[in-house]
Every structure is written in C-alpha cells, then in structure tokens.
Amino acid sequence: MAAPSTTLLIIGASGDLTSRLLLPGIATLLAAEPDRRVEIVGADLRELGDAEWRSRVETAMAAGDPEGAAGKELLRTTRYVAGDATDGDTLRALIGSIACDRLVIYFALPPSVTARVCTALAEVGAPEGTILALEKPFGDSLESARELNALVTRIVPEEQVFRIDHFLGLYTVLNLIGLRFANRLLQPVWDRDSIERVEIFYDETVTLEGRGYYDTAGALRDMIQSHLLQIMAMIAMDPIRSIHERDLRDAIGAVLRSARVIDPAKDTRRGRYTAGSIAGRGVPDYVAEQGVQPERDTETLAQVQVEIANHRWAGVPFVLRSGKAMGAIRKQAIVHFTPPAHIPEGFGGRDSGDRLVIDFRPDGFELHLTTNGRGDPFTFEQTVLRGELGGGQLEPYGEVLASILDGDPRLAVRGDAAEECWRIVEPVLAAWAAGEVPLDEYPAGSSGPADWRTS
C-alpha cells in the first residue's frame, strides 16, 4: 500500500522566508526521515522560471541529503506557479491542479496579505483535511486576530490551523516540560513561595538587515507578543496530565488568560539602537537603515514586566526582553529563587541569589548554587552546575514542518492563545503611542541602555 501523499503549497514562495528557512527545513527533515514523501508547489505574484525555482530548491536541499531518494523525488516533482492568490479564480485553479491525499497550505506572507488570501479561500473552499499554516504575527491587534481566527475557522476546523512559532520547536517544548515536571527537586519549589522573579531574554546580534517589515512591527510585536509570552506560559503553567495537544494547549491558555501588564507606563521599557559595532562590523544608526521611517519611533529593544494573577504566581514579576543589534546572543530564561529566610550568623554576605538558567538553542541549563568560598569557608560564592538538554536532528523549522505534515498541533499556537497575547500587549502599545514611555537609545553592539536592569 502506497504511503499517503502530501503536498506543501507555499504561497509567497519567492520570498526570503521560503529560501532561508522553509526549504532548508524540509531538506533536514527529509535527510532525517528518508521514507517521507512530500511534493512542494511554490506560488507567488513574482514570475519565476522553472529553472530558477528548481535551482532554489536544489540549493536548499544541499542542507540535507540531496542524493537521498526523498530529496531526488522532491526535486523531480516540485513546481512553481505565478499568480495572485488573493484572486478567487486564480486560487481555485491553483488548488485544482494539485492531486494529493493531504494538502498543506503555508502562508509565507505578511498578515494583511494572508487575510486577503484566506478571504478568497473561504469563498473557493479547501479540500477536506487541508491544513493551514500561518506565520506569526497572527494579525496586528486583538481585533484583527479575532477577525483572522473567525476567517480561518470558516475554512477548516481549529485543529487544522497551525499558527507557527518556530521558537517552540519540539525539543525546546519537551525540554521545558521534562525539566519542570520530572525533577523532584524543582517541582515542589515552582511557585511564588520559592521563586522571586523570572526573566526571559531573546537578544540577537542581527540588525535590520533589509527586513523592511520590521519597522512596522518592532520588538514588542515581533518577539514578545508571540515567542516570549508563549515561553512564559510554558514556564508558568500548572502540571499537566499528558503531553497531548489538548492538555498542553489548555494549560498554556490558562496562564495567558491570567497574565497582564499592571502599569504599562511604569512596567515597560523601549529602546532603539544607534550606530555602533558588532564583532568588528560597523552598524549604522537604525534610523539610517533603508526603509525606516524615523517618525514611527519603532523600538528595536523592548522589555515588559508581566504579572500572572493566579494562586501559584501572584506577586512574582515575569520580565520579558528582546532586542536586536545587541553585543551578544542571549536566548534564555532565568528563574531567580527566593533567598533563605535565615542564614546562620558568622557567614559573609551573599553576592547573588541561587538561580536556574535555561538556555535555548543550544538547549542546556545552569544551576547556580550558593556554597562556601574557596580559601575562606566563612564566605559564600556561587558554584555552577551545567548540563546539556536533549536536542533533535532538525532545525526549528524542520521540527515545525514535521508537526504540520503529520497533523500534530502540539507546536502550533491555538486561536484563543493568539488573542490573549494581543490582549496582554495592547495596553503597552497604547501607552507607547501616547508617549508615556520614553524611547531610550543604545549603541549597536552594547548590552542595551546603561540603566536597564538585567541579570
């Protein structure tokens, strides 16, 4: 019996996302799972010749095993169609030209264009079992997220909608769950009585680098509204019965519904990089970058303090920060434990508290514990215990694409969670638009404005 055939239809296939992430992700997936069969059909407004499209796919396949049977079959069958997918007749013809057991439509498009294509698709109709995969951001406001959710669920059921957050690769998700719930030392102290604060960082050395869309988004919308709030929810969620998608996504949703920024004017910061140097490379001022409109006051560094108003976490600040053009890459969560109520008299002071540092990509952890000082046992110092967490063979997009092709929604953001994330950040966006929070500056290649508190 032949294996079910799957076609991945990428709308927006001529763009950077497809060449840089989607196609290499498929390549690494096929190298790891050589028995998997998938056809790729690219579609976009731009005219691309057959040879140019195949060259792009072949270049991407080099990231995996281009000589393998799966890679060769993909290269043999792949094709590209030029056309306007927001036009109903064009979209109907495109979908009608595809014969497969399962169709996955991947929207490698800005949110506004995705909405227009979905409007056309709702009129045309999708084959039974079709999966829709949408890149973040999911809308650009709470209202637009609700409208988009209502639109896509007119086309297919919610369980066939995959809102993509590649930061939540399968191993990252499972490592967080395993570390939290499979360790007797951590599970009993994972609450407000033992944890003082939690910080989640996603600092990057990359700059604007031609991504003109970023100037209409900024760090808050681009990273905190999606990636970091999802990671926060997994760190803070209550114990779950299983790792099945319903249990996992219900627990994430419960945290997000309890989350809020109490005072956007006091509990948030924003900044923008100026000219500087990163790893010896000169970086121009953000406002001098091509496509930037300075009057937008777009932030390249954002920090918000979130409260989770439930019994487990009331009063514990969750600080979320993300920035571009930073001096070093920092992708981690830091759990700061509450100091002990009493230390016997006669010992020296503690320089810093105990903490658990969870690193993402590569996945690992550090446990910082207070111990007696070397050379003077009446003083304290920090001893660091390091460990590696399991990692997969696939890049994050490979893991995400595997879950989409398999119809496993555990890595997808559910519609209610996407709406809650917008609800959390909208008061912050309003305060920033009203000028209630100053736009600080920091040199590219630095750790941010000097007075920003970081661990």
Helix (H) / strand (E) element for 76: namely helix 69-77
- Find out whether 50 and 80 touch, Cβ atoms under 8 Å: yes
| Cis check: omega of the bond before 362, within 30 degrees of 0 | yes
Cα(277)–Cα(401) distance, rounded to whole angstroms?
36
The answer to whether the CB of 380 falls within 8 A of the CB of 370 is yes
| Cα radius of gyration rounded to whole Å, the chain | 23
Neighbours of 189 (CB within 10 A): 13
Contact call for residues 381 and 354 (beta carbons, < 8 A): no
Distance between CA atoms of 261 and 424, rounded to whole angstroms? 7
227 noted as active-site residue = yes
Q: Is 400 left (phi over 0), alpha (psi -120 to 50) or beta?
A: alpha
The span from the CA of 35 to the CA of 4, in Å, is: 11
Say if CB 106 and CB 133 are below 8 A apart.
Answer: yes
DSSP reduced 3-state for 117: helix
Q: Using DSSP bridges, classify how beta strands 355-359 and 330-337 pair: parallel, antiparallel or unpaired.
A: antiparallel
| Entry field: residues in the chain | 455
Point out which residues pair with 326 in neighbouring strands.
446
Phi, psi dihedrals of residue 10, rounded to the nearest 5°: -100, 110
> Which sign does the torsion angle of CA 47, 19, 131, 413 carry?
negative
Residues 203 and 270: their CA atoms lie apart, in Å, by 14
Active-site option among 166, 227, 311, 368: 227
Angstrom CA distances, 157 to 78, 105, 131, 399, 415, stand at: 28, 14, 9, 22, 11
Between CA 53 and CA 412 the distance in angstroms is 29
Catalytically active residues are: 227
